[in-house]
Every structure is written in structure tokens, then in C-alpha cells.
Amino acid sequence: MAPKRKRQETGKEKRASKRTKATIVHSEFPKLSEKSAKAASAKGNQTIGTPATYSHWLLKSEPNSRFENGVDMKFSFDDLKSSPNQTACWDGVRNYQARNFLRDQMKLGHDVFFYHSNCKEPGIIGQCKVVKESYPDHTQFDPKDPHYDRTSSKDNPKWFMVDVKYVRPLDKFITLAELKKTHKAHQSSAGPLRNLALFTKARLSVQPLSQEEWDYILKMEHSDES
């Protein structure tokens, strides 16, 4: 039985995001209703306004216990490591744009940063990899699950998930504060993280990264900043 996890940012981190203008809608990531999300899928299975393909991602998960309807939503990087075969499904996504990324663009072998959210010190803790492409999220069909969706059916599922496998911890935990500082600097210098979705579209728990963004963040792993 897979653990319950991967919720949108809430509480302290969400308020902090608002204070740093994280609610600004970047042109690459327009807000999608269910109707427009379906229309986007009908026009080629990709989200309106996004590049056709990504191969790098950032996934947010809560590392600390938080109970919802009696179910602990916690799922940390260590939890992934201790899962059978160090692999787990990324379930519980209930945002249409995040769903579209999972369903339509995340492919076998894609690289992923694992991000701890809604905690005392948020940040990127490690790497994992997509090992199974999208399939229906089982939690939408379970009336006892906090993410049950009575409007979804097995004949026409609304929500999807992928499987990810633990790869490695980063040599250094890259904090939200360090990422924010770099993002702000790059906005004025046209640097690689100037459009980082972590700040331009913070509400999403599934975020695409360009190759340039991925490579730069990996370099931060070996920087002396803290």
C-alpha cells in the first residue's frame, strides 16, 4: 500500500511565497481550468503555452507528519529510499496543470529533484527518476482516502500519477532561501534561474525545469553558499 503524500504547498511556505510575489503568473504557465486543460489535451496532449517537451522536473512533498481525515500525508526523501525497491507512486496530485505535466509530459527516465515543502527549512534534498509513465491514480477511487474524487470513474479517470525511484541525496541541501536569492539575482542579470517555476508558479507541486535550470541547480550543490 503506497503511503499518502505530495500535496500542494500550504501554511508557512505558501504565505512566504506570496510575500515574494510567487503568485505572479508567468507567461509559460497560464492558469488552467478543467475545461481549458481538456482542450489543451485535445490539441496534442500538452499544456497551453508550455514548450512541447521537458525532461527535468521538481516534485514537492511534505517531510513532516500532517494528518488529513486520519491519514498522514507525510512522504520524505527518506521514505522514498525505504520504499520497496526504493520506488513509489507519486499520487494525490489534484491540480489540473500539475496533472497534465504528470500525465502528458513526464516520461520514462526523466530526472527529478525531490523538494521538501511546508516545513521549517524547505529545499531540494535529492534526486529521483521517473521509472513508470502515467497511469490512473488509485486514490481518486477510494472513498476513505483524503483525495477521493466522486466525479471520477475507472472508465474515465481524472487524475494520474507516475512512479519515481530514489537516485541519490544531493551533496548539499539546497534551501529555498538560497534558491530565492539566486532567482532574484538572475532576474536582473538574465541568469538561468530568472524564470524558475518555484517562484513564478509556486502553487504547483509538479514543476518543469529547463536543461539550463537543472544544470545550474546541480552546480549550486557544490557552491559554498548556505
Confidence of residue 5 (pLDDT cuts 50, 70, 90): low
Q: Is residue 82 part of a domain?
A: yes
Q: Is residue 225 part of a domain?
A: no
Q: How far apart, in whole angstroms, are the C-alpha atoms of residue 55 and residue 107? A: 7
Question: What's residue 26's pLDDT?
Answer: 31
Do the Cβ atoms of 182 and 191 come closer than 8 Å? yes
Whole-Å CA distances, 144 to 4, 88, 147: 12, 20, 9
Q: Is residue 178 part of a domain?
A: yes
Cell of 3: 503511503
Question: What's residue 9's pLDDT?
Answer: 47
Q: Is residue 35 part of a domain?
A: no
What mean pLDDT do residues 14-21 have?
38
Domain holding 82: CATH number?
Answer: 3.10.590.10
Q: Is residue 42 part of a domain?
A: no
Say which residue the cell 487524475 belongs to.
Answer: 159
pLDDT tens-place string over residues 49-106: 444 489 999 999 999 999 998 899 999 999 999 999 999 999 999 999 999 999 999 9
Confidence of residue 43 (pLDDT cuts 50, 70, 90): very low
Number of domains in the chain: 1
Q: How far apart, in whole angstroms, are the C-alpha atoms of residue 45 and residue 220? A: 33
* Residue-number span of the structural domain to which 78 is assigned: 11-25+53-220
Collapsed DSSP state (helix, strand, coil) of residue 144? coil
Q: Is residue 20 part of a domain?
A: yes
Q: Is residue 138 part of a domain?
A: yes
What mean pLDDT do residues 206-218 have?
97
Q: Is residue 44 part of a domain?
A: no
Do the Cβ atoms of 152 and 159 come closer than 8 Å? yes
What mean pLDDT do residues 155-170 have?
98
Closest alpha carbon to 38 in 106, 95, 100, 91: 100
What mean pLDDT do residues 192-201 have?
96
pLDDT tens-place string over residues 51-62: 448 999 999 999
